[in-house]
Chains A and B, each alone.
Chain A
Amino acid sequence: MIAAVDSSAPAILVRDLHKSYGAVEAVRGIDFEVATGEVFGLLGPNGAGKTTTVEVLEGYRERTSGIVSVLGHDPSTRPRALRERVGIVLQSSGVYRHATVGELVAHWAGFYPRPRDVGEVIDLAGLRESENVRARRLSGGQARRLDFALALVGDPELIFLDEPTTGFDPAARRAAWETIRALADLGKTVLLTTHYLDEAQALCDRVAIVKDGRILAVGAPAELGVGASSRYRVSWCDEGGEPQTRETDDPTALLHQLTSAALARGTGLAELSVTRPSLEDVYLELTAEPGDEPAAVTAGAGGSRRGRGRR
């Protein structure tokens, strides 16, 4: 039915997407593309329109207007050929509570024309030890792994992950990140939503920062920082111990000056650092409410706001 697909065609294409619930405009004109094999993140505070956007792409919601293409299909008609190629991890969803993990994964495998090996999927999701445990006895983290397993067993090309690690402890988050990276290594396309900066930074090839139903910026996590302000920030402590900061387009000359002076004095340069704006800085700048503390940002479960384990 499907002719040879142009591999350069984007896995997901969204043009001027609008979605209203009655008088409420949840999505107000969103454009983005996700390339095949890319891990793309929608990053934004709660209520930004991330889930609505993803649910339009998953076929759960009808868009109000705009163009949407998922693996070459219009998701609003929910064609079975598309559902066979897509795996969905919803923000929250239940299963048959009295079935075991193994039974559920095997049952789900039967929905798909070319499922993956059930045991392999259970291993990939880290559920080997819970295989014979009934779903209702799983911990929150294990239940989330089961969500992953059920979404992956059909061997999808494209995987939607709606806030895959919300509510996780740090160890469980790391484990989930490893699973998502394993998917990326398999060449799968991943669209994930998150309100964790570190998660977007750690996992995504590209990120779109979403707020109030609009995209404020799109790019690789590193590029986003560069785009907002290409300046380097150089900080150090002067002879009197006073902290100094200077911004510059090219820190080479400044650093030469500072280090020469320090060498001439025969002292060190205390607390010298050269930084570029991080994704966090960009995010805070873009999503800040006027006259408001940037409280919308949620720190990672580990307490650190900085990207960790970045690859």
Chain B
Amino acid sequence: MSGALALTWRQYRLERRMFWRNPSAAFFNFVLPLLFLGLFGAIFAGSQTDLDVIVPGIAGMSVMTTTFVALAMNMVYLREQGVLKRLRGTPLPSGAYLGGLAAHAITNTAIQLSIVIAAGALLFGVGLPENWLMLGVFVAAGVVCLGSLGVALSHAIPNFDSAPAYVNAIFLPVIVISGVFYDAENAPAFMRDLAQVLPLTHLIDGLSAALVTGAPFADHLSDLAVVLAWAALGAVLAVRGFSWEARRG
């Protein structure tokens, strides 16, 4: 029972059960992106061009809420409450704990994307994904990138009370600039330039090709490269700043 894999699985199961008992976490991770999809789907109903933008946009946003937002908030909370410190004193291997936490976030990403893709096909005329392999690659890169950036951000947040401010100060501008709700090509030049630096823009570009346009993978390798570059930066910052307890006041 104490094999590392078995422990990871148990930790994952606990995280899953706890998730649904916490209404605010379930709302931010699950309901919000779907609510946006419903609202913008209704607004853009009749304009297939806009619907073709909003579906991959919301898919990208879903990856960000289930990894970046969820992990940043979660880590700050677990650290401040001393849950991490308590677990650190048990024989549970760190890898099993963090693995369970990561698997939990990835499950949320997968469920969200399934709903968004199904809604795109059934309600918004986007059809089924054009390129499943490309979809998988971009989602995997996006999860690693935004997940590690979320953990990295958690190191910079002083306490849980201020966590929503920190997270939203990044999340909200990023989803607007990166073209979740409109075609980023139509934005003013300075926003387009800014968007080109951000990983979510490139994730959405890749998802758009995989879900809607069917543009060849080869055309989007530069997008993948940007996402992976951010992933590398995020991973370094996430590991370097990692702490099992809150900073002493």
Binding site for B on A (CB under 8 A): 58-60, 80, 83-84, 86, 88, 90, 92-99, 103, 107-108, 110-113, 134, 150, 154
Contact = CB atoms under 8 A, between A and B. Distances in A.
Interface of B: 1-2, 7, 10, 14, 17-18, 21-22, 78, 80-83, 85-86, 88-93, 244-245
Contacts, number: 70
Contact of A110 (B1, B18, B81, B86): B1
Nearest to A150: B86
A108 B11 CA distance: 10
Nearest to A88: B89
Nearest to B78: A94
Contacts of B81: 93-95, 97
Contact of A90 (B17, B21, B86): B86
A297 B21 CA distance: 44
B90 A108 contact: yes
A46 to B, nearest CB: 14
Contacts of B82: 90, 92-94
B98 to A, nearest CB: 15
Contact of B21 (A59, A83, A98): A98
Given A99-B14, A99-B21, A113-B2, 16 more contacts: A83-B89, A84-B91, A90-B82, A90-B89, A93-B85, A95-B81, A96-B18, A99-B17, A99-B18, A103-B14, A108-B90, A110-B2, A111-B7, A111-B92, A150-B86, A154-B91
A80 B93 contact: yes
Please indicate which of the listed interface residues B18, B22, B89, B244 has the most CB atoms of chain A within 10 Å of its own CB: B89
B221 to A, nearest CB: 42
B2 A112 contact: yes
Contacts of A86: 89
B90 A154 contact: yes
B18 A98 contact: yes
A94 B86 contact: yes
Nearest to A112: B91
Contacts of A80: 91, 93
Given A94-B82, A98-B18, A98-B22, A111 B2 contact: yes
Contacts of B2: 110-113
A275 B10 CA distance: 58
A60 B22 contact: no
Please indicate which of the listed interface residues A92, A95, A96, A134 has the most CB atoms of chain B within 10 Å of its own CB: A96
B89 to A, nearest CB: 4
B85 A60 contact: yes
28 contacts: A60-B85, A60-B88, A60-B244, A80-B91, A83-B89, A83-B90, A83-B91, A84-B91, A90-B82, A92-B82, A93-B82, A93-B85, A94-B78, A94-B86, A95-B86, A98-B22, A99-B14, A99-B17, A107-B14, A108-B90, A110-B1, A110-B10, A111-B2, A111-B7, A111-B90, A111-B91, A112-B2, A113-B2
A60 B243 CA distance: 11
A10 to B, nearest CB: 21
Contacts of A154: 90-91
Contacts of A134: 21
Nearest to A108: B90
Q: Which 8 A-B pairs have the closest CB atoms?
A: A94-B81, A93-B82, A98-B21, A88-B89, A93-B86, A83-B91, A84-B91, A111-B90
A83 B88 CA distance: 9
Contacts of B80: 94
A136 B245 CA distance: 20
A59 B18 contact: no
B135 to A, nearest CB: 33
A59 B87 CA distance: 12
B85 A90 contact: yes
Given A95-B83, A96-B14, A96-B18, A110 B89 contact: no
Contacts of B89: 58-60, 83, 86, 88, 90
B7 A110 contact: yes
Nearest to B10: A110
Contacts of B7: 110-111
Nearest to A99: B18
A256 B7 CA distance: 72
Contacts of A84: 91
Contacts of A103: 14, 17
Nearest to A107: B14
B83 A93 contact: yes
Contacts of A111: 2, 7, 90-92
Contacts of A99: 14, 17-18, 21
A97 B89 CA distance: 19
Contacts of B18: 96, 98-99
Contacts of B91: 80, 83-84, 111-113, 154
Nearest to A147: B86
A14 B244 CA distance: 25
